[in-house]
A = this chain, B = another copy of it.
Amino acid sequence: MAKVVGLVNLHSNVDLKGLTERRPVASVSFLGRYGIIDFVLSNFSNSQIDNVGILIKEKPRSLFKHLSNGNAWNFNSKRGGVQLLYDEKFANNNMYNHDINNILENIAFIEKNKPDYVVISPAHIITTMDFSEAIKAHRQSGAEISIVYKKIKNANETFIGSDFLKVKDGVVQAIDKNKGNIKNRAISLETYIFNTKALIKLLKEAQKVSTFFDLRDILSYVLDEKKINAYEFKGFAAIIDSFEAYFKVCQSFLNIDVSTKVFKNNWPIFTNTNDTPPTKYLKNADVQNSFVANGAVIDGTVSGCIIGREVSIGKGAVVKNSIIFSGAKVEADAVLENVIVDKDARIKKIKELKGSADEPLYVKEGDVV
């Protein structure tokens, strides 16, 4: 079996407003139970890739915590595990704090593991991708580099600002930025497969061209001279590239067709254990069309919501189309609609909070409103 190292690339400029003020996108809560990074980590684990490095761009603390038990993702501790890769030197220097510098700073991680292939994938694009199939196709293509893409029909609504590919006979012809002007696009999922030697050569080349270049830049740059294989991924993919996108992607999982595509029996999504009891529905509970994590206590009306761990919804409270993070408390008779309530916040009963589906309101971690 080929030896593969996985890299989770957190060097993206995604900003989810308040949600990413004190944490990176990777550790933002998702569906009440997960961190966003759980999906890509589970993909690596389920693809039998046991050696995974996480290219941390910033705000490492919440990641330390989330990842402190790497075993949650079922990486074989005897064959690898999760390693945090951080480029302290450039942490406060945005122009230099990019994926290429981070990989080069931590090149020992790759050198030590001597992989045949390196798979690089971001956290903020949610997929259930079997990397082993992508690697197989990559090997068969004979190319040294592959980019994974997905054909979408609503490129005017989503993945705006992402790269799209022009593909001919399975080879990337051009890479350009999706400006949202055309519906049908072959969108890059920012997932790359490299022969290890080709990766290292490419990174060194990038540094020569411009020390500001990141991976996306250098791939576009070398496209003319190098054959880059295009691998089409046909499964579920959604990008969380803004606060509003976060809200919409979360809500889309309430559609049972979407959640069935992602939560498959043979593709578990791993996350940390929290030792919370089942959720308790009290006698005034009236809950429909919602995802509910364990440990919540609900005595109010809830619909179209994502309710996190140990959330409490008081009697008479009405919560609609909202996302309530773990530990938050919605007190009796409070009314919420289109709101994202961050961890451990408390909504007092006198409040009525209404956002819109396009612009949900946001209540900060720990706030009392």
Contact = CB atoms under 8 A, between A and B. Distances in A.
B83 A65 contact: yes
A88 B61 CA distance: 9
B77 A61 contact: no
Interface in A84-98: 84-86, 88, 91-92
Given A78-B275, A275-B78, A88 B68 contact: no
Given A70-B68, A78-B275, A59 B84 contact: no
Nearest to A84: B64
How many copies of the polypeptide does the oligomer hold?
Answer: 2
Nearest to A89: B92
Of A64, A82, A85, A275, the most chain B CB neighbours within 10 A belong to A64
A85 B61 contact: yes
Of A59, A85, A86, A106, the most chain B CB neighbours within 10 A belong to A86
A302 to B, nearest CB: 27
A69 interface: yes
B91 A68 contact: no
Contacts of A70: 68-69
Contacts of A180: none
A23 to B, nearest CB: 12
A59 B86 CA distance: 9
Contact of A69 (B65, B77, B88, B275): B77
Nearest to A85: B61
Given A65-B83, A83-B64, A59 B77 contact: no
Interface in A16-70: 58-61, 64-65, 68-70
Given A68-B81, A81-B68, A88 B106 contact: no
Interface string A214-248: 00000000000000000000000000000000000
A68 B84 CA distance: 9
Contact of A61 (B58, B84, B275): B84
B88 A58 contact: yes
Interface residues of A, number: 22
Contacts of A81: 68
B275 A106 contact: no
Contact of A92 (B77, B82, B86, B92): B92
B78 A61 contact: no
A64 B58 CA distance: 15
A82 B61 contact: no
Interface string A248-277: 000000000000000000000000000100
Given A60-B60, A61-B106, A275-B78, A68 B92 contact: no
A82 B106 contact: no
A258 B64 CA distance: 36
A70 B67 CA distance: 11
12 contacts: A59-B88, A61-B84, A64-B64, A64-B83, A64-B86, A68-B81, A68-B82, A68-B83, A78-B275, A88-B92, A91-B91, A92-B92
Given A68-B81, A69-B77, 13 more contacts: A60-B86, A61-B86, A61-B88, A64-B64, A64-B84, A65-B83, A68-B70, A68-B82, A68-B83, A68-B84, A88-B91, A88-B92, A91-B91
